[in-house]
Structure 1
Amino acid sequence: PEQGGYQLLQKECGFFTDLATGKVLERWVNPYLNEAVEPFHIANPAVNRWILPQVKEERFYDRADGSVPASRPFVLPWRRAGDRLMLEQRTHFWAVNPLDPQLWRRESSGARIQVSDCMSYNARWSELSDPKRDSVEYDGHWVHVRPWQPWMLMGDRPGHCLYSAITGSALSARSVPAEIYELVRERLPDFLVPPTEVRKSEPSMIRFMRERKPAS
């Protein structure tokens, strides 16, 4: 508040699943290599950002050209159609890969990484404009394009990963798929508790470097 804005504290977790069965993968046979690999599921304890009148582009990684993003007014491109309120956000970056390809020969896609995120949100104007509410429900979509996941052991082979996911709010545990909720409760119970302390944001690749060793 003293800076005229807010700090958003978040955690994020996710699980890679079998496309045919929907079951969470514990082992995966990479069809390009015909080799069994161990998925590295998403469990990032801090994904934070400031929401201020003037903001800088959020970056987990250093820009490839070494530049620092300029600040800009925080104005979201909302569109309204009757009681529907819609928002699209797109982020694209070309950055230094934290996984040094000289050390992580099978895990790193190269010295640079190119990533795109496209997100959409749909909510109700009547709910968002209600000052008595402290939360609203929404649904949306997320598209993510990135290099091969390091645990796939694809190295610098041509290709990329494409994520396409339906998103939405979950105002209670009952809104989360039961099997996912139970898995989080079993493996990542801390992720069921909202963050209260400011921690440095950490992407999955940094955690991968800390918890895994280069494959032989």
Structure 2
Amino acid sequence: MEDLVDMIRVRADLAGSEVVLWWTGDVYAWAPDSGPHHIYGFEGVNVARAVAVEGGYELLTREAAFYLDPRSREILDQWDNKFTGERVDVLHVWNDPVNQRWPADGPYGPFRVPRVRIGEDVIFNTDVLLAYPSPLPVAEFPDNSGSDTYRAMELFQFFTRATDVDDPEVTDVPCTLSWTRVAPWLPWMRMADRPGALVYHCRGAKLAGWAEVPERTRDFVAEHGPQYAHAPEAWSGPNETSWTYFQKHAAGNPSFR
């Protein structure tokens, strides 16, 4: 139970207040005999609320993130695909919801999160290894999907001060974070079954509130999805991903197919 409570304190707030995580970084293309290539910047926010439930906690979140020109750092509308020679429309990340259930004792045993104490710091890490049927079967999405199985890795590290973690009165532990993601080509890139992958390399922090999110990102969210400035009020599902979001948009927008 200690790991669960501490991770809620680090990732969210044990008292149930909204918590904003912000990150920024870059995306690289990794292909056989090519590159690696720096193809985008990337910046986003996740707003979360932890809710105590029987047997553990629910983490209620939604997130928005945007692909940027790697040099100017402006939010992209279109992208020139150097691999195919095609200009494509960019579909940003608008995932609502992104909810998780964290049971104190689940099907694989008690909740555990590895941590390392280095001097006055404590580092928590969570490695999420994913493999499940793709929402975009190749037969239906030959230009957008290279496999009927979605495979990816989401690798998180949360950096905290030992004095905060050791104090049970601190319900909302300040942290900075790193996030690395290895994933297939994005569907809107129209890479079909070309071999290769994307590597995301980002860093960020838990902020004091929405007002600390960079102004450009706050403005973009306010214009295109103001609900993303707040966490969900209640559990809902299924979770949205870039793949399911693309599936919905492709149905009504032939330019993505």
Q: Same fold (TM over 0.5)?
A: yes
Counterpart position of 2:33 = none
Matched, 1:7 2:58: yes
Counterpart position of 1:77 = 114
Paired residue type of 2:244: I
Residue number among 181, 185, 189 corresponding to 2:222 in the alignment: 185
Matched, 1:53 2:104: yes
Residues 195 and 28 of structure 1, relative CA distance in 2, 3 Å threshold: same
TM-score (norm 2): 0.74
Residue number among 72, 82, 89 corresponding to 1:31 in the alignment: 82
Any residues of structure 2 matched to 1:159-174 within 5 Å, and which?
A: 159-174=196-211
SS at match of 1:87: strand
Counterpart position of 1:105 = 142
Any residues of structure 2 matched to 1:122-141 within 5 Å, and which?
A: 122-141=159-178
Matched, 1:17 2:60: no
Moved over 4 A (4+): none
Equivalent pairs, count:
202
Normalized per residue, the structure richer in strand is: 2
Does the 8 Å contact 2:210/2:229 carry over to 1? no
Deviates more, 1:33-42 or 1:80-89: 80-89
For structure 2, list consecutive stretches of 5 or more residues without a partner in the other structure. Answer: 1-51
- Distance in 2, Cα, partners of 1:36 & 1:30: 6
- Distance in 2, Cα, partners of 1:178 & 1:2: 35
Counterpart position of 2:19 = none
Where relative contact order (Cα < 8 A, 6+ residues apart) is larger, the structure is 2
SS at match of 2:67: coil
Residues 194 and 111 of structure 1, relative CA distance in 2, 3 Å threshold: closer
Counterpart position of 2:235 = 198
Deviates more, 1:168-177 or 1:144-153: 168-177
TM-score (norm 1): 0.87
Residues 207 and 88 of structure 1, relative CA distance in 2, 3 Å threshold: same
Paired residue type of 2:158: Y
For structure 1, list consecutive stretches of 5 or more residues without a partner in the other structure. Answer: 56-69
Does the 8 Å contact 2:88/2:189 carry over to 1? yes
Q: Deviations over 1:173-197 (max 9, x none)?
A: 3421111111111111001122112
Q: Deviations over 1:21-62 (max 9, x none)?
A: 11111011111111110111001111111122123xxxxxxx
- Distance in 2, Cα, partners of 1:210 & 1:174: 31
Between the aligned residues of both structures, percent identity stands at 26
